[in-house]
């Protein structure tokens, strides 16, 4: 060991010992024997041949020889592990140069491989002639083995013995670096994930889960050719590198073979297991030839295979990935928009169709994206719902809408009877304590509860009508008004409509759109209006764009109207002017 040899400084010690030995102190043998490293001394004869003069006990052990068999022999006669061939050039070099020579010596005495570090030191006599060659051997085999073991463990998965992610990465890198894509040489990466592996673990325990993975690894291996690489990335995720494919079809064939092989039921702790895997394929045909790119793309495709129903293969498509990525980017931007106050509330006037006066506004969120311009609510609201951002977004809309109406109420006497309508999404309605949120907004802004109108869509309340009814009841107790939005587009069951404490129905603009031209639409609108009257609900018609539509709506007896004919949703300042103008909207 180098550390140890440094501490005892064997060279110096041995030089001394050797000198002594040469000088005839035979008991130096015992001194040398006690050294923890192998030592040998060759005498250089007059005809310049090397004759072994001394070896120590560690040397004997290292080469499994007895010194009696060796001492006195010339180098050419020593037959231990091709010593002569290996040592002679080194001894010659040290002898001629009169300088120490260090070298590595590797050989194998099965089952072990030996890694030795040697030094040969010429020992000079008084007249500077080399009479002896001293050799010191340090056995580094154990150390090397440990190093290899560490290296192996760093590159392999301990459960299955398969290459791990690091080695897999390396393998891809080595191959793709030398491939010529122009000549049609391609590679593919398959990422495989076991469907419902958690279930196996939970039902049969982790030991059985491990056993399952080992068997699976063997099954996968059997589906591959010799030069394909199978790796375990983590948990129940495996990857395969197909070094050379011509078309993506070659990779698909492998994946088909895997599905077939895995489909066969197999016994795990006496239980018959049916399992499947989802596979994603990426290749250098469509992905960049870097390990990270191939793995990421194959992983993305694998997740698509999962969401697409499992037990299947998906091939990576760049455009689907880009869509997902830009959606992810939009999500990040939306989160930032909310905290950076990029979002704005716009206000669309709601008109009393009997008096022509402004009755209030519907607050609608607007997102002027710094790079993309206005992102339509039809894009960011569903995204906000999917990601849960709708909860803080909805809370933000509530707070700002109530605060703005309070500003108008304070600055314009005619604003005291105006209402503000705020959309509350289904997610927000069920996931957060919407009653508490609303009451705290009312408290903070000082807006009377009766001035706030909450718009709920049919899908929100029909998803779980029992709970929806309870929450609505609590909202009514607060004193706020409730409107059912987009009425006619969902599947409102009449019995529930009766049980909900609603105040308004908002007729969807799909019905209003052709009310003046389409007889059927007009009849539906009439039925809705009759229904609303029967249920004692007030009606708001959405999407009035034409004077003719306005006239029909009015003649049918619908109380409120909203639409581009009157005004689109406008920013706070314009809404402020609208409040101040207090005009008759039916006279345009
Ligand atoms: P919605 O609640 O049905 O809102 C009415 C939509 O109809 C608004 O679209 C409005 O600009 C549009 N509109 C009004 N009059 C007319 C018209 O005459 N013709 C036509 N073609 N369209 C008209 P917008 O602002 O794009 O909002 C779309 C949807 O996004 C809203 O539908 C609502 O469901 C949702 N949304 C907007 N802001 C919020 C919000 O703060 N919270 C929640 N939860 N949802 C919101
Ligand atoms: Ca609405
Ligand atoms: Ca609506």
The answer, yes or no, to whether any atom of ligand 1 lies below 6 A from the CB of 376, is: yes
Between the two ends of the chain, the Cα-to-Cα distance in Å is: 100
- Atom number of ligand 1 nearest to Cα 425: 44
In degrees and rounded to multiples of 5, residue 267 shows phi and psi of: -90, 130
- Atom number of ligand 1 nearest to Cα 364: 38
pLDDT score for 547: 94
CA of 196 to the centre of ligand 2 (A): 41
The answer, yes or no, to whether any atom of ligand 1 lies below 6 A from the CB of 569, is: yes
pLDDT score for 50: 95
Domain 8-145 class in CATH: alpha beta
Question: Ligand 1, residues 360, 423, 515, 570: which to mutate, most atoms within 8 A of Cβ?
Answer: 423
pLDDT score for 135: 93
pLDDT score for 525: 79
Ligand nearest the Cα atom of residue 562: 1
Listed in sequence order, the residues at least 6 apart from 565 whose beta carbon sits closer than 8 Å to its beta carbon are: 544, 545, 546, 547, 549, 550
Listed in sequence order, the residues at least 6 apart from 324 whose beta carbon sits closer than 8 Å to its beta carbon are: 300
Distances (CA, A) of 457 to 96, 401, 466, 500: 98, 19, 15, 13
Question: Ligand 1, residues 542, 545, 546, 550: which to mutate, most atoms within 8 A of Cβ?
Answer: 542
CA of 157 to the centre of ligand 3 (A): 56
Which residue is closest in CA terms to ligand 1's atom 33?
Answer: 423
* Secondary structure element (H or E) that encloses residue 56, with its range: none
Indicate the length of the chain as a whole number: 588
Low-confidence ranges of the chain (pLDDT < 70): 1-28, 110-111, 181-182, 490-495, 588
Q: Please state the domain extents for the chain.
A: 8-145, 156-316, 329-580
Q: Are 78 and 52 in contact (CB under 8 A)?
A: yes
Q: Beta-carbon neighbour count of residue 281 at 10 Å?
A: 29
pLDDT score for 465: 83
Listed in sequence order, the residues at least 6 apart from 122 whose beta carbon sits closer than 8 Å to its beta carbon are: 94, 95, 98, 99, 100, 130, 132, 133, 134
Q: Are 71 and 54 in contact (CB under 8 A)?
A: yes
Tokens of 539: 């009606």
Which residue is closest in CA terms to ligand 1's atom 20?
Answer: 543
Tokens of 421: 């309508």
For ligand 2, a single-atom ion, the residues with CB < 5 A are 423, 455, 485
CA of 457 to the centre of ligand 2 (A): 8
- Atom number of ligand 1 nearest to Cα 544: 18
Q: Are 364 and 347 in contact (CB under 8 A)?
A: yes
Q: In 3D, which of 293, 13, 51 has the Cα closest to residue 176?
A: 293
**Angle between helix 547-556 and 519-534 (nearest 10):** 40
pTM of the model: 0.60
Which residue is closest in CA terms to ligand 1's atom 45?
Answer: 423
| Rg of the chain taking only CA atoms, in angstroms | 43
The answer, yes or no, to whether any atom of ligand 1 lies below 6 A from the CB of 485, is: yes
Q: For the domain with range 156-316, which CATH number is right: 3.40.190.10, 3.30.70.270, 3.40.50.300, 3.40.50.1860?
A: 3.30.70.270
- Atom number of ligand 1 nearest to Cα 506: 3
Q: Beta-carbon neighbour count of residue 435 at 10 Å?
A: 18
CA of 439 to the centre of ligand 3 (A): 24
C-alpha–C-alpha distance, residues 384 and 324, integer Å: 15
| 277-283: strand order across its sheet | 229-234, 237-245, 186-194, 277-283, 313-315
Q: What is the pLDDT of residues 294-331, one digit of tens each?
A: 999 999 999 999 999 999 999 999 888 888 888 889 99
The answer, yes or no, to whether any atom of ligand 1 lies below 6 A from the CB of 559, is: no
For 45, which DSSP code? Answer: P
Beta-strand relationship, 186-194 and 229-234: unpaired
- Atom number of ligand 1 nearest to Cα 345: 41
The answer, yes or no, to whether any atom of ligand 1 lies below 6 A from the CB of 460, is: no
541, with CB counted inside 10 A (0-12, 13-18, 19+), is buried
pLDDT score for 26: 44
CA of 506 to the centre of ligand 2 (A): 8
302, with CB counted inside 10 A (0-12, 13-18, 19+), is buried
CA of 448 to the centre of ligand 2 (A): 21
Ramachandran assignment for 325, one of left (phi > 0), alpha (psi -120 to 50 degrees), beta (any other): alpha
pLDDT score for 125: 81
CA of 455 to the centre of ligand 2 (A): 6
Which residue is closest in CA terms to ligand 1's atom 12?
Answer: 543
Count the helix, strand and coil residues of the chain and give each as a percent rounded to the nearest 5: 50, 25, 25
pLDDT score for 303: 96
Q: Is 492 helix (H, G, I), strand (E, B) or coil?
A: coil
In degrees and rounded to multiples of 5, residue 332 shows phi and psi of: -60, -45
Domain 329-580 class in CATH: alpha beta
512, with CB counted inside 10 A (0-12, 13-18, 19+), is buried
Q: Are 468 and 500 in contact (CB under 8 A)?
A: yes
């Amino acid at each position: 060991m180098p550390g140890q040899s440094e501490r005892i400084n064997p060279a110096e010690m041995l030089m001394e010992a050797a000198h002594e030995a040469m000088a005839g102190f035979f008991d130096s043998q015992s001194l040398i024997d006690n050294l923890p490293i192998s030592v040998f001394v060759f005498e250089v004869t007059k005809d310049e041949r090397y004759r072994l003069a001394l070896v120590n006990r560690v040397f004997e052990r290292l080469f499994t020889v007895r010194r009696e068999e060796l001492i006195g022999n010339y180098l050419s006669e020593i037959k231990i592990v091709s010593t002569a061939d290996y040592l002679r050039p080194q001894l010659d070099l040290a002898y001629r140069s009169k300088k120490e020579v260090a070298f590595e010596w590797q050989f194998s005495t099965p089952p072990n491989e030996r890694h030795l570090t040697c030094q040969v030191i010429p020992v000079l006599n008084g007249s500077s002639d080399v009479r002896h060659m001293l050799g010191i051997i340090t056995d580094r085999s154990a150390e090397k083995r440990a190093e290899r073991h560490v290296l192996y463990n760093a590159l392999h998965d301990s459960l299955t013995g398969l290459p791990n992610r690091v080695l897999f990465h390396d393998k891809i890198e080595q191959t793709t670096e030398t491939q010529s894509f122009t000549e049609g040489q391609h590679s593919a990466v398959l990422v495989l994930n076991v469907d419902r592996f958690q279930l196996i673990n939970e039902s049969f325990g982790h030991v059985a889960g491990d056993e399952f993975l080992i068997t699976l690894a063997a099954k996968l291996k059997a589906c591959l050719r010799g030069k394909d690489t199978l790796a375990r990335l983590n948990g129940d995720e495996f990857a395969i590198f197909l070094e050379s494919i011509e078309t993506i079809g070659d990779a698909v064939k492998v994946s088909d073979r895997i599905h077939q092989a895995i489909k066969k039921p197999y016994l795990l702790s006496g239980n018959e297991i049916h399992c499947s895997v989802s596979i994603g394929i990426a290749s250098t045909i469509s992905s960049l030839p870097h390990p990270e790119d191939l793995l990421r793309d194959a992983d993305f495709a694998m997740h698509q295979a999962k969401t697409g129903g499992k037990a299947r293969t998906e091939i990576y498509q760049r455009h689907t990935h880009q869509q997902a990525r830009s959606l992810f980017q939009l999500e990040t931007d939306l989160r930032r928009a909310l905290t950076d106050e990029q979002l704005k509330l716009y206000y669309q006037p709601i008109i009393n169709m009997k008096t022509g006066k402004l009755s209030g506004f519907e607050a609608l969120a607007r997102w002027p994206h710094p790079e993309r311009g206005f992102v339509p609510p039809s894009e960011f609201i569903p995204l906000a719902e999917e990601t849960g951002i709708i909860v803080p977004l909805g809370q933000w809309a509530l707070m700002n809408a109530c605060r703005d109406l309070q500003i108008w109420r304070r600055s314009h006497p005619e604003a005291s009877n105006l209402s503000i309508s705020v959309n509350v999404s289904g997610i927000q309605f069920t996931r957060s304590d919407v009653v508490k949120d609303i009451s705290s907004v009312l408290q903070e802004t000082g807006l009377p509860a009766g001035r706030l109108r909450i718009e709920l869509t049919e899908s929100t309340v029909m998803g779980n009508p029992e709970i929806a009814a309870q929450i609505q009841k609590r909202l009514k107790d607060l004193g706020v008004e409730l409107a059912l939005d987009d009425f006619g587009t969902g599947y409102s069951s009449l019995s529930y409509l009766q049980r909900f404490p609603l105040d308004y129905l908002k007729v969807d603009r799909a019905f209003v759109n052709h009310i003046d031209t389409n007889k059927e639409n007009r009849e539906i609108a009439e039925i809705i209006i009759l229904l609303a009257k029967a249920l004692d609900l007030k009606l708001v018609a959405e999407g009035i764009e034409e004077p003719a539509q306005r006239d029909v709506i009015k003649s049918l007896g619908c109380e409120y109207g909203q639409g581009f004919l009157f005004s689109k949703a406008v920013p706070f300042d314009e809404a402020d002017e609208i409040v101040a103008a207090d005009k008759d909207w039916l006279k345009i």
